[in-house]
Amino acid sequence: MERIQFGTDGWRGIVASQFTVANVAKATSATATWLLRKYSNPEVVIGYDTRFLGRMFAETAAKVLAAKSIRVRIAEDFVTTPMVSLAVKELGTSLGIMITASHNDYRYNGFKVKGSYGGSLLADDLRDIEHLISIEKEFDLELFRWDVFIELELIKYIDLEDLYFNYIRDHFDLKQINKAGLKIVFDAMYGSGQRVIKKILKKARFLHCTVDPQFGFTPPEPLERNLQEISEYIRKSGDFDLGLAIDGDGDRIALVNGDGQYIDSHRIILILIHYLAKYRNLSGKVITGFSSTSKVDRLSLSYGLMITRVPIGFKDICKIMLTDEVLVGGEESGGIAIQGYLPERDGIWIALTILQFMAETGKSLDDILKEIYKVTGPFACSRRDIPISKEKRSRIMEKCRMGEYRSFGRFEVESIDELDGSKFCFNDDEWVMLRASGTEPLLRIYSEARDRETAEEILEAAYKTVIFGD
């Protein structure tokens, strides 16, 4: 049996291959062992999204926990990951388990674990659970009956969406947002945020708000290449102020402006820093991932904010948010958290924060970005995901570590940073970064430059150097 490993965002696998009922039971049983060592009377919240067999896998996890006398509150229907995280914190439970593969394509499902604070479980705890999985025996689910656990109240259903909606309503001025006259298109990408958003944004136009476990054969990741439909819809209409898109389990976000142009997470992080520091007069650290734009540093320093860069994976941002006053914590992938909420990514929370900003000031996305560019200057970031074998990935990353790449096309390497993967820095805040994905069989190449053409040129040069020069 293939070893169950937790990557940057939990354990994921192809359904019926790595991700099976037996493996979910094994992972949950090990998690239960860890819980019982850490808590005297643990309780767990379980949720699942719109993926294939999500409910079945969630019920499998619930049965395993109940069989070990751990009380479970399981979602009545599909939910977002932040709904589980919020419930863990608000209900005071010990742990959250979310059955989701986030932005992966439809073949995958996964197993995310959330700590009692409502955020990603920390690396040391994940390693402990991984070790327990490696020595865990097979779990015979046939010995246990769902109806008995329900009768004993070891398993209870809970409306996590209602809890989340009430919390949103208490923390945002939804009347102001809905009366601001903003014309919004929302793309749920067939994910689990599709139902609650209709309660929140009553006048928006909605795309892909149906359940399709195949996600229209497009990975539910809010990248530019996956959002052509919403961009074209806004462009052709000419009648909308912005578009919002969240990923399959609702913890990542992207924007589209009124011209149908994609607004990436780099700019969303900058918008949040700008709003919270300048317009709300808030302070705190800015924590961002290694692959985020260098302009985060420039804008943060202009407001006197300390910035820290961390390896890819939100758990490192979460860890700092648990101990320090953090204003914004965000990643290039679109997972962003802000002060005054959970130490957790939440696409809907971030969307509403930006809508609140626009409603309060009457500014468009373009107006806001123009203010930011006065400080940062223009820039462009790009990314390419390359499916290659594990062996070739390892060879490329070893060459990076050995310093064998000194140029990529016409771009000469001036310095190398190896916080996570390898970032090769050129002149003028331009760079390329190579990193093996922690959740998928991919080599990721990231770049930043002063304009889109140069960023793409850097990507292409890096691709040719490492793939054809290997």
- Which long-range contacts does 464-467 make (Cβ < 8 Å, 24+ apart)? 464/409, 465/405, 465/407, 465/408, 465/409, 466/396, 466/399, 466/405, 466/434, 467/386, 467/388
pLDDT digits (tens, 9 = 90+) for 391-429: 999 999 999 999 999 999 999 999 999 999 999 999 989
Side-chain-side CA neighbours of residue 31 (13 Å): 36
- Find the helix packing angle between 365-376 and 265-274, rounded to 10°: 90
Q: Report which residue type is found at 348.
A: I
Report the C-alpha gap between 451 and 194 in whole angstroms.
34
CATH of the domain spanning 180-376 = 3.40.120.10
Side-chain-side CA neighbours of residue 243 (13 Å): 32
Q: What is the reported pLDDT for 437?
A: 87
Q: What are phi and psi of 331, to 5 degrees?
A: -120, 160
Report the C-alpha gap between 101 and 286 in whole angstroms.
27
pLDDT digits (tens, 9 = 90+) for 269-284: 999 999 999 999 999 9
Q: What is the reported pLDDT for 314?
A: 93
Share of the chain above pLDDT 90, in %: 94
Correct CATH for 380-468 of 3.30.310.50, 2.160.10.10, 3.40.50.1170, 3.40.50.850: 3.30.310.50
Average pLDDT over residues 272-297: 98
In CATH, the architecture of 11-164 is 3-Layer(aba) Sandwich (3.40)
Q: Identify the bridge partners of residue 352 per DSSP, sorted by sequence position.
A: none
Q: Identify the bridge partners of residue 423 per DSSP, sorted by sequence position.
A: 417, 433
Report the C-alpha gap between 197 and 78 in whole angstroms.
13
Instruction: Report how far Cα 17 is from the mean position of its chain's Cα atoms.
Output: 24
**pLDDT band at 1; cut points 50, 70, 90:** low
Q: What is the reported pLDDT for 292?
A: 97
pTM: 0.96
Average pLDDT of the chain to the nearest whole number? 96
pLDDT digits (tens, 9 = 90+) for 193-242: 999 999 999 999 999 999 999 999 999 999 999 999 999 999 999 999 99
Report the C-alpha gap between 283 and 150 in whole angstroms.
47
Pairing mode, strands 307-310 and 285-289: parallel
Q: What is the reported pLDDT for 445?
A: 98
Place of tokens 């995310």: 112
In the predicted structure, residue 121 carries a pLDDT above the cut 90: yes
Q: Is 170 exposed, middle or buried (0-12, 13-18, 19+ CB in 10 A)?
A: exposed
Fold match flag (11-164 vs 180-376)? yes
Domain boundaries, the chain: 11-164, 180-376, 380-468
